[in-house]
Structure 1
């Protein structure tokens, strides 16, 4: 029996590029980057780095401003994104269907502990019952389906979409919210700063994020949340839903190589990409566009470029590739969810988002450099490769 097709019918988001789909898409295709200088203090140490910060998160319907602001930023981001995604799809406040939720969350406990420590708490050393972001969001929205948290670093959002798709195909849920949330804390930024993973270009910070460019020197940290609503083709057709894209394929692998550095062997990343193509029942020449993981680090960009060349072979020169992290920054656990949204933008707007700040490409790929391009976008591959060697590849397809 053929598994039912699964469609995305709603999106909710809060990012530095906007907190609604149209604003985000406009800014993305225009290459408007919100990078600014972020000043952090950890203990007696102060450091500056380029970053993308969240603006005030919109208050969901049914909440007062004062009550909503009592939540931690990550909780606010998840609640707004999930509720607005359900509203966008037409499923908000529905108790006649089984709605599940899967969220990628990487640093929620660091966020909690840092905030608790700032007010004199001791939660880091003395454990107590604390509600997770997923359980809080599920309870506040009255979602009665299964729920799960995914933590696979930068690949978390793709895993969330894959889990949600499987739940729908297995009949465990009628509808599922899938996404990820990331709020960056001073200690988090300090950690990546000490790893020398962050760009230190504070003098020309608006050009600090430059994936695939020979002058790249690390990524720019960002924060935000993105949620997608998934349902089966049958359910979406029956109710005349507005369909954004089909979740057509997913592939995953692990490097089993290093906690931080990607494997020098491109085969594990190639396995993830090829698995997504096989799952979607397509060949490399049918891919209209690749949204690369490419964070702007030398080892990360190089590893992905080799994997792309290995998978696309003779089609490498004609398959458009860009890294939208050059615009949005790197959302860590929420990166894959944001880049799925960037891929939906490409499908919906029939335009390819650019890699900005790409003046001198190091890799012989078909780069979309500095300006978006109109294109016939039918199939998009979105790669997300996380710390620890968590490789994922997602294929989204235009629905006629």
Structure 2
């Protein structure tokens, strides 16, 4: 066990409705820019919700020739781009085949998306299971020559945080020299949009897409579907120091719980999700009065935002009046299994730029929280909490700490 060596995030690879690298995404978040618009990749006339945060063009990584890259399923394109970008950002490109690098990503409904795309193209792949023995992660790991453990997990919207926790555990147990962890999701498809729309979970502000995602606002009417991915390189701090790497953040705490209250409705008892936050803080050795910022899960559903406010009040008590809270889903939409990864980058932005990204579209707050509304707020952040609470009662919390020491 190498448990005492802190875990650093030394690389980040991103593909989002707001951009495809960390600087671009951070700048867009702090500018309060919305990445949400009308769905443009298929006809939506009969859909109750016709808007989303889409990724229309995934950049081609250097490891593949552009024509071959465009033939890949879009989910695999995103995962491949994010993995290469994270390795490059960490300074491990060219060395990655010589290290035991693990890969753990949250991915939801992988086969459903593959079969749906194939069906739309006139295929019948769903009836040929022999074609689907290899997962997206298997192909990505082989493409990059990764020799560490590989795991694909699906825990709904909590998946990315779970993946980061698992990656940290692999490092602590000495199972990998470094780990790629995060989530990828490309659910803006005819079936995906129809499914969430028919659940009445999605906003129907089709005439004003940029204003549709309204976490914490009294007039919110559901979340906006988003897509993309985020992958981080996790390393033990000692290894990162030896190669003069710089950390974006330290993963100091992870916590999880399951309430299994309902397939889609959060538990009315805040203690269930609260346990995930309490466990993360305890794991980090952080008290509520030491937290500088909370990136809330807050998707913009009437019951979900209120339930999370109750969770935060239970855990943080009177400290909650001091702590700035935001929901960056107001700009990106809800990236489902990839949400936690992109929101970890929002926490990095707050740390690096000493300002909290805003919750845009917040006109009339109806929760007792210190929400950063409409415009960013200058505020130094050393410790940030990021919540991800998923359908089915999968709850996760990540605690990140700024790493400011010079390396080398």
TM over 0.5: yes
Going from structure 1 to structure 2, the CA distance change for 1:261 and 1:46 (only over 3 Å counts) comes to closer
Matches within 5 A, 1:65-214: 65-94=66-95, 95-130=97-132, 131-184=134-187, 185-214=189-218
Q: Does residue 1:383 correspond to 2:387, yes or no?
A: yes
Query: 1:59 aligns to what?
Result: 60
Name the SS of the counterpart of 1:285 in structure 2.
helix
Q: Does residue 1:366 correspond to 2:370, yes or no?
A: yes
What's the Cα RMSD here?
1.4
Do 1:107 and 1:183's aligned partners in 2 also have CA atoms closer than 8 Å?
no
In 2, the alpha carbon distance for the partners of 1:327 and 1:62 equals: 31
1:46-105 Cα offsets, whole Å, 9 max, x none, are 555221110311111132110110101110000000111001101123222110100110
In 2, the alpha carbon distance for the partners of 1:128 and 1:223 equals: 28
In 2, the alpha carbon distance for the partners of 1:129 and 1:246 equals: 40
In 1, the alpha carbon distance for the partners of 2:20 and 2:100 equals: 26
Matches within 5 A, 1:1-400: 3-38=4-39, 40-41=42-43, 45=46, 48-94=49-95, 95-130=97-132, 131-184=134-187, 185-400=189-404
Which structure 1 residue ranges, 4+ long, deviate > 3 Å from structure 2?
39-42, 44-48
Name the SS of the counterpart of 1:200 in structure 2.
coil
CA offset at residue 120 of structure 1?
Answer: 2.6
Moved more, 145-154 or 111-120: 111-120
In 2, the alpha carbon distance for the partners of 1:332 and 1:180 equals: 9
Name the SS of the counterpart of 2:269 in structure 1.
coil
Do 2:165 and 2:254's aligned partners in 1 also have CA atoms closer than 8 Å?
yes
CA offset at residue 315 of structure 1?
Answer: 0.5
Going from structure 1 to structure 2, the CA distance change for 1:258 and 1:46 (only over 3 Å counts) comes to closer
Do 1:249 and 1:394's aligned partners in 2 also have CA atoms closer than 8 Å?
yes
CA offset at residue 126 of structure 1?
Answer: 3.3
Give 5+ residue unaligned stretches, structure 1. Answer: none
TM-score normalised to the size of structure 2? Answer: 0.95
In 2, the alpha carbon distance for the partners of 1:15 and 1:116 equals: 24
Instruction: State the aligned residue count.
Output: 399
Give 5+ residue unaligned stretches, structure 2. Answer: none
Structure with greater proportional strand content = 1
Do 1:93 and 1:142's aligned partners in 2 also have CA atoms closer than 8 Å?
no
Name the SS of the counterpart of 2:13 in structure 1.
strand
